[in-house]
Amino acid sequence: MTNEPTKPMTMKDAVSHIEAHGTKSQQQDIRKARTAFVIHGIEGPDFDIFPAILTEYEKAVPKLHGSMPALQALVNAAGVSNESYKQFQRAGRRLIEAVTGAQAEKAERKNRDDEWAVLLRQVDLLVTAGLVAAQDRVAMTALVDTCRAADVDPAILTLDQAENWISTTHVAQRKSLRKGLKVLDNLRGFDRLRPLLPPRPVTPGSRPASRLTTLPEPLQRAINTWVDVAARTQVKDPGYAHLAEPLSESTRAGYSAATSLYVKTLLDLYPGLSNETDLSRLFTEDQVDCVLAAWGRNEAHKARTMASYAADLGALLQRNGLTEAGSYVTGLIAVLPHLVEGRFAGNAMGPKVKRWCETLLRDPQKTNLFQIQHVEYYRRALETLAAAKRNGHDLPHLSPPEVLATLSETERGAVKKALRTARMFGVIAAYSAIALEGAPFRRQNMLSMRHTGPSKTMFLHLTGRSPHVIIKFPNAELKNGKFLSERGEEMEAITIEKRGPGDHAVEIIRFYLTAIRPLFPEADKTHAFFPPLGTASSNNSGFAKETFYTWLAEASAEIGLPMNSHNFRHGYCSIDINEGRRSMEDLAKVLGDTVAVVQRNYAWVNAKQSVLNVQRDTARRRAEILKARGAVT
């Protein structure tokens, strides 16, 4: 009998193994890895079945380095800093390496006493003497590990081998290998090291640089100048143009990326134009047709991104005096199939978010859990505080860093764990209570709410016969506040109060203020309802969005409903529309959006419900017909 192939390990297997046998740091890697996966839309069952294979992981959760606008946009949308994302991504890699044995194999290679060890000891001496930079020594790590894995000593390493590794390895590792190879060649300047080095240089020829730096310098300067003009608020009267304010860095980056890609594509199609110094001469109708058509043939470019780039390009041309060219580019968005597809893709809910909502609506248990999740977080926060008290830990007294430092290592570890858990569930309980019993505000508004100080957005009335909370954001703090102001509108104030036996938001908010918020060492130094974990740099400093995303991912997974902060809005609206509780107009008022925006995102829920209603009605009539026929016969 032939042996059945070994079933590949999944992330669920990996997590189970680490929870049972892992170290404390590996336990922390689990939650960080989950967050990395969530950023890429892989959560719940998708996370459980994901193969614990490094190559698959690096494709799905790539390393962030250099110019990666698509990944950068995804990270920014998740409210996570670049450094936090890099930490989360590395945690996932470590997790997989730990359970597959790759980590142990790497440790074995690192401890080998071979020709590489001899060379590295000599390099360490040069670092100590100040003749080699410490970062150069670090840069050799990936190369040495790769060579040891292939049983290649430094003396027999060749350029062909180096080029083969770089061409076949994952993109995330190529940069590290190139750095190591360059350092290795630079060591040839030390005569005593030459017997330990490859006989010939091993650094492959340099790759083309990033998009902007490969363009001719005059065109680079012209692009920057055009972006300066375009990425500003548009003033109709030229006499007031000097008062136009610059737009955000992300907007500027969009204009720059769109124009740079256009020029790069055009020069690839027409190399003879590489000596052109006048940017305005590169936008004839024929040239525009060729470039935008080429974008559609490149599978690496997403239709939605290309449509956005074309819109930015059209605006940039018009704002820099090329009105006809700008109008022509804008017109193509409604003509070229891939741009039409991309334009409509931007006018509807993304497929990943839609799948999340559909999964929520299909599962009655998840639908119910979504609506009472704040109570679940509240219960876990209470349990954590009770357990700490039973263990003799007075968390409010022990929470200041200077007090924690006086504890023994064992006790300090236990207290820090209890503090983190209590803070996490307490913060998420209060946040979700406001989102579910008040309104699902956007994350940036929630984390910046101020309940004290001169510019309050949260007004607490927690004493008296009718305790309640009022939340009111000025237009200036809202994402769409500018458009509300232009229409002479404001977002409605939201009142949170107990309207029935299932309402617990006021109780949870009161609990958070008395039992959880004091656990933040500098809570008394900020007006923010959710204070920072560390130093309050100003009197309005709020909770860090990166930590919030990590805590929400961990807490929601704990109760069996993995989600991110924007899912509060999506789940809230999807459930209400699906169950016919509120109209699109009502939801628009709650969200502070237009009816058109709500319809654009959630019309599919009504459509599904309409189809289901028709099917149910047809089934009912069919049953009546069959019943009647049975009665006749």
Per-residue confidence at 210, pLDDT binned at 50, 70, 90?
A: very low
Highest-pLDDT range among 64-78, 151-165, 618-632:
151-165
Flag whether pLDDT at 583 surpasses 80: no
- Mode of pairing for the β-strands spanning 468-471 and 458-461: antiparallel
Report yes or no: 292 and 310 within 8 Å, Cβ to Cβ. Answer: yes
What mean pLDDT is predicted for residues 574-593? 74
What mean pLDDT is predicted for residues 456-485? 87
Residue 192 vs residues 123, 195, 197, 225, 511: alpha-carbon distances, Å:
11, 7, 10, 52, 69
The mean-pLDDT minimum among 208-217, 258-267, 378-387, 418-427 falls in: 208-217
Per-residue confidence at 209, pLDDT binned at 50, 70, 90?
A: very low
Flag whether pLDDT at 234 surpasses 80: no
Q: pLDDT (tens digit, 9 = 90+) per residue, 120-137?
A: 999 999 888 888 888 888
Residue 471 β-bridge partners: 458, 494
* Measured distance CA(47)–CA(236) in Å, rounded: 51
What mean pLDDT is predicted for residues 88-113? 86
Q: Note the pLDDT of residue 229.
A: 81
| Rounded percentage of the chain residues whose pLDDT exceeds 70 | 87
The kind and range of the H/E element at 497 are strand 494-497
Q: Note the pLDDT of residue 608.
A: 61
What mean pLDDT is predicted for residues 320-343? 87
* Measured distance CA(374)–CA(563) in Å, rounded: 13
Average pLDDT over the chain, rounded to whole? 84
If we measure between CA atoms, which residue out of 529, 528, 459, 530 comes closest to residue 497?
459
Find the farthest-apart pair of alpha carbons in the chain and give their distance in angstroms, rounded. 107
Q: Note the pLDDT of residue 631.
A: 57
Q: Note the pLDDT of residue 208.
A: 41
Q: Tokens representing 535?
A: 């130093």
| Rounded percentage of the chain residues whose pLDDT exceeds 90 | 28
Q: pLDDT (tens digit, 9 = 90+) per residue, 68-85?
A: 666 777 777 676 778 888
Task: Between 224 and 377, name the one with better pLDDT.
Answer: 377
Flag whether pLDDT at 213 surpasses 50: no
What mean pLDDT is predicted for residues 278-306? 85
Q: Note the pLDDT of residue 212.
A: 41
Q: Note the pLDDT of residue 528.
A: 95
Length of the chain: 633
**3-state secondary structure at position 528:** strand
Task: Between 609 and 394, name the one with better pLDDT.
Answer: 394
Flag whether pLDDT at 240 surpasses 50: yes
- Compute φ and ψ for 197, nearest 5 degrees: -105, 165
Flag whether pLDDT at 396 surpasses 90: yes
Residue 627 vs residues 333, 613, 631, 632, 633: alpha-carbon distances, Å:
56, 21, 6, 9, 10
The mean-pLDDT minimum among 36-40, 45-49, 171-175 falls in: 171-175
What mean pLDDT is predicted for residues 419-428? 95
Flag whether pLDDT at 29 surpasses 80: yes
* Measured distance CA(139)–CA(403) in Å, rounded: 40
- Mode of pairing for the β-strands spanning 468-471 and 494-497: antiparallel
Task: Between 582 and 376, name the one with better pLDDT.
Answer: 376
Q: Note the pLDDT of residue 503.
A: 93
Q: Note the pLDDT of residue 600.
A: 66
Per-residue confidence at 8, pLDDT binned at 50, 70, 90?
A: confident
Residue 242: CB atoms within 10 Å? 7
* Measured distance CA(252)–CA(467) in Å, rounded: 46
Q: Note the pLDDT of residue 348.
A: 61
Q: Note the pLDDT of residue 444.
A: 87
* Measured distance CA(251)–CA(136) in Å, rounded: 36
Cα 83 to the chain's mean position, in Å?
Answer: 12
Flag whether pLDDT at 506 surpasses 70: yes
Hey, where are the domains in the chain?
11-107, 112-196, 212-345, 352-567+577-598
Q: Note the pLDDT of residue 43.
A: 82
What mean pLDDT is predicted for residues 399-407? 91
Instruction: Tell me the CB-side half-sphere exposure of residue 335, using CA atoms within 13 A.
Output: 11
Per-residue confidence at 421, pLDDT binned at 50, 70, 90?
A: very high
**CB contact set of 10 (below 8 Å; sequence gap of 6+):** 48, 49, 50, 51, 52
Q: Where are the alpha helices (DSSP H) in 187-271?
A: 217-230, 249-269
If we measure between CA atoms, which residue out of 300, 308, 324 comes closest to residue 211?
300
Flag whether pLDDT at 285 surpasses 80: yes
Flag whether pLDDT at 153 surpasses 70: yes
Flag whether pLDDT at 211 surpasses 50: no
Q: Note the pLDDT of residue 453.
A: 92
Tracing tokens 């071979």 back to the chain, one arrives at 114
Task: Between 236 and 448, name the one with better pLDDT.
Answer: 448
Highest-pLDDT range among 177-181, 211-215, 340-344:
177-181
The mean-pLDDT minimum among 45-54, 59-68, 241-250, 554-563 falls in: 241-250
